[in-house]
């Protein structure tokens, strides 16, 4: 499947690019939800960390669970 990143917002493009980099760092053949979630958790000024905090969910705790 081809992704046209021109149709994404800047933050979405950053997240997809970082998810791809995360998959490469882990020597994975494909990008999946876990890679994207990891990228979104680390995104400076991103929506996901602030939403998690409003839901009283620790982004750090979610990251630890994701690593497992």
> Which pLDDT value is given to residue 5?
72
pLDDT one-digit tens code per residue, 3-46: 677 788 899 999 999 999 999 999 999 999 999 999 999 998 88
Task: Say whether pLDDT at 56 is over 90.
Answer: yes
- Sign of the CA dihedral running 45, 8, 18, 65: positive
Query: Cα separation of 50 and 23, whole Å?
Result: 24
Kindly report the pTM of this predicted structure. 0.81
Query: Cα separation of 37 and 48, whole Å?
Result: 9
């Amino acid at each position: 499947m081809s992704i046209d990143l021109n149709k994404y917002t800047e933050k979405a493009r950053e997240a997809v690019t970082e998810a791809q980099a995360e998959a490469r760092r882990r020597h994975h053949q494909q990008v999946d939800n876990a890679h994207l979630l990891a990228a979104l958790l680390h995104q400076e000024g991103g929506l996901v960390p602030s939403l998690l905090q409003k839901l009283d969910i620790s982004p750090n705790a979610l990251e630890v669970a994701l690593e497992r």
